[in-house]
Every structure is written in C-alpha cells, then in structure tokens.
C-alpha cells in the first residue's frame, strides 16, 4: 500500500507541479526516474538546443552506455529536454537553462560534449566564428574546471583549431589541465573521408577507414589516402579530388543549405560516434582507436590531430603519422603553417 501511495503521489506531483518545481533543473520531473536509470556514464551536452545539439542529444539518449544525460543551453533547453525525455531508452534526461544553472549541469559528469556557439554561414570562414565562439568556450570551460575537472571534454565548437587551445589555457589557469582528457572532435572529417572514398571505390563506407590528421579547417584537414583500409591506390587526379572535397566538406553543406545553417546532422552523427568511442574507452574496452585534435608531440606543434587510443583516462596513446607520400608531406607542411597561427590565436585569446 505504501509503495502504491508513493506512486500516486509522484503522478500527482507531475499533474500538479508546485511553482518552484522547475527552478533548478529545467525539468525536475525527470527526478522521478533517477533511481530507475540504467547503469552507465553521466554525460552533459552543452549547447543542447542548437542545430547540432538537438540531434546529438537524441542520439546520445539512444546510447546504452549513458545513464544520465544533462542538456544545457542558454535558451530552449526545457523544451528539448521534455521532448527527448519521452524516448523509451534507459538514460535519465535532465534539462538546465541559462548561466545560473551551468554548474548544476556540469557537476559529477564523466563526459562533457560542447557543440555550443554560432554556426557558420555562407561566406564565413571558421576564423570569422572566432570572436563569438571563443568567449563561449572560455566561459564553459571555466565551469568544467570548477564542477567536473576529471571529465573527458569533447570540443565541437568551431574553430576547433583555436577553441581546443583556449580550453587548455583555461584549464591550466585553473590548475586542472590534463591533456589526456581534452579532445577536439575531428571525427566529421573522418566520416566524410570514409564516405567520399567509398563512393569512388564502390564500397560500403562502413568498410572504409581513412586516417585524417592535422586540424579541422580547410588545408589543415589532411586525409592520409596512402594509409586507407582496405589498401588502395589512387591516381593523382583522384587524390586531388578526394582531398579537396574532404577539406571543403563543410563549405559544401553551408552552400547547399543557402543560409539555413551548416553541417548539423552529419556533425551530430560524427560527434556521437566519437563520444561513444570515449565512453567505450572509459569502460575499459581495448583497442579503441580514433582520430582527434589533442595535445601532442607528433609534430613540433602543441596540438595536432592524429590517431589516438582511448581508455579510462581519455587519451592513453598517440600514434605517429606513419609513412607519408610526397603529396601528403607537402600537405602536412601547409597544414602545420596554418595550424600554428590558429593555435596561437586561441592561446592569445585567454592570455590577453
């Protein structure tokens, strides 16, 4: 009888919420399910109501490794939370709205995914986004340093070549920087490379694996077509076509959407694919290898995207680039030159 009364009281609370019931957690109705949540990891999506954030949140709600999913944004997060919380998967969803709830959103998280910021529009370069998104990432990372300094942090906000160094500097100033736990998400470049190469070869993209190194903008994106699996050779014309299309994949989408947005759906897919790899690493699964933009000694630059092995501590091993052909060596030098400028721009933003 007592348990029945408790259930009736819970239902009644939903039907007749008190005026203060939404003050702290956007949708505190999710609390009634907290004890029934599935075992797994606590994940926060910061920027969950945006063009990337919404499909990203939906896909993360479907991930069986996620037990608690926190959705934060400065606007519209209660609606997104209510919508996604109705999905019949194991993760408990809680919404957080505005700067006053940022710390609550971040406290106790195992993984924080940051797609927050403004999207690219026609005619904009990733550097054009810098002045807006740099400040957003800085503020969010200050919250992470305070509330969940041990969390794995996945940075999606562009320009990644600069926002990852910004995050690193914020964490250094707070005394919480762990280079293994800060990763710039370049997975969309790999996803595009696999897709575009598969089209040329007539293969299933899921059977193709193209390492993409360097950074996450223009010529800094360097697909290593000589290291493709399954092994395959390309003519110079094919190499040039594929490299150019992979490097300009984002622009292709921005122009196709004609002012209506940037690559949001494919980015959400790639972000979830990478976040899932991070969660499998946290679980202790073996041989979780992906490309990511991380603190690195692969080149003379302080940050570089290359293959990494993910584990319980985040990045547990960074792999060398391996043998490059002449075209790739030339591309590497171009990538490093532009990357150096972007990295310094991020560092300078925090130190100014």
Binding residues: 47-53, 73, 120, 126, 133, 156-158, 192, 267
- Is 216 assigned a catalytic role? yes
Tell me the CA distances in angstroms from 124 to 114, 119, 129, 264, 343, one per residue in order.
21, 10, 8, 16, 19
Tell me the CA distances in angstroms from 82 to 26, 28, 36, 62, 292, one per residue in order.
9, 10, 18, 15, 32
Per the residue annotation, which of 14, 70, 86, 216 is the catalytic one? 216
Residue numbers in the known binding site for NAD(+) are: 47-53, 73, 133, 156-158, 267
Structure tokens belonging to residue 348: 């300078």
Judge whether 248 and 237 are in contact, CB under 8 Å: no
Structure tokens belonging to residue 177: 């920087």
Look at residues 174, 109, 183, 111 and name the one whose alpha carbon lies nearest to residue 139: 174
Please state whether the peptide bond connecting residue 230 to the residue before it is cis, i.e. omega within 30 degrees of 0: yes
**Is the Cα torsion angle 173, 160, 276, 45 positive or negative in sign?**
positive
Total count of residues recorded for the chain: 352
SS3 218: helix
For residue 183, the cross-strand partners are 154
Tell me the CA distances in angstroms from 212 to 132, 151, 222, 225, 306, one per residue in order.
27, 25, 5, 9, 7
Judge whether 39 and 46 are in contact, CB under 8 Å: no
For residue 96, the cross-strand partners are 72
Tokens 């040329």 locate to: 200
Q: Could you tell me which residues come within 8 angstroms of residue 137 by beta carbon, excluding any fewer than 6 positions away?
A: 114, 116, 117, 155, 157, 163, 166, 167
Q: For 295, list phi and psi in degrees, rounded to 5.
A: -60, 125
Judge whether 87 and 58 are in contact, CB under 8 Å: yes
Residue numbers in the known binding site for substrate are: 120, 126, 158, 192
How far does the chain reach from its first CA to its final CA, in angstroms?
64
Judge whether 58 and 267 are in contact, CB under 8 Å: no
Report the catalytic residues.
Answer: 216
């Amino acid at each position: 009888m007592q348990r029945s009364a408790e259930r009736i009281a819970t239902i009644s609370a939903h039907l007749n919420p008190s005026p203060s019931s939404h003050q702290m957690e956007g949708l505190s109705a999710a609390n009634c399910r907290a004890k029934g949540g599935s075992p797994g990891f606590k994940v926060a999506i910061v920027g969950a109501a945006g063009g990337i954030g919404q499909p990203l949140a939906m896909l993360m709600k479907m991930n069986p490794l996620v037990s608690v999913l926190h959705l934060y944004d400065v606007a519209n997060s209660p609606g997104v939370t209510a919508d996604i919380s109705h999905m019949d998967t194991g993760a408990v969803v809680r919404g957080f709205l505005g700067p006053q709830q940022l710390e609550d959103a971040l406290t106790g998280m195992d993984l924080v995914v940051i797609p927050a910021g403004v999207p690219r529009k026609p005619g904009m370069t990733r550097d054009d986004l810098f002045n807006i998104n740099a400040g957003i990432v800085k503020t969010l990372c200050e919250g992470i340093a305070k509330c969940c300094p041990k969390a794995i942090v996945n940075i999606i906000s562009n320009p990644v070549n600069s926002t990852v160094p910004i995050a690193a500097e914020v964490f250094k100033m707070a005394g919480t920087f762990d280079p293994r736990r800060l990763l710039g998400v370049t997975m969309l470049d790999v996803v595009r490379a696999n897709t575009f190469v598969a089209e040329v070869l007539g293969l299933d993209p899921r059977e193709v694996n193209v390492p993409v190194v360097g950074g996450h903008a223009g010529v800094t994106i360097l697909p290593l077509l000589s290291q493709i699996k399954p092994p395959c050779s390309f003519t110079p014309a094919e190499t040039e076509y594929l490299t150019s299309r992979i490097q300009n994949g984002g622009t292709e989408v921005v122009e196709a959407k004609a002012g209506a947005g940037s690559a949001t759906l494919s980015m959400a897919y790639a972000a979830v694919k990478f976040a899932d790899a991070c969660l499998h690493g946290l679980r202790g699964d073996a041989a979780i290898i992906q490309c990511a933009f991380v603190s690195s000694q692969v080149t003379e630059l302080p940050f570089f995207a290359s293959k990494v092995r993910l584990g319980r501590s985040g990045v547990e091993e960074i792999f060398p680039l391996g043998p490059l052909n002449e075209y790739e060596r030339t591309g590497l030098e171009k990538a490093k030159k532009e990357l150096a400028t972007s990295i310094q721009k991020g560092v300078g933003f925090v130190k100014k």
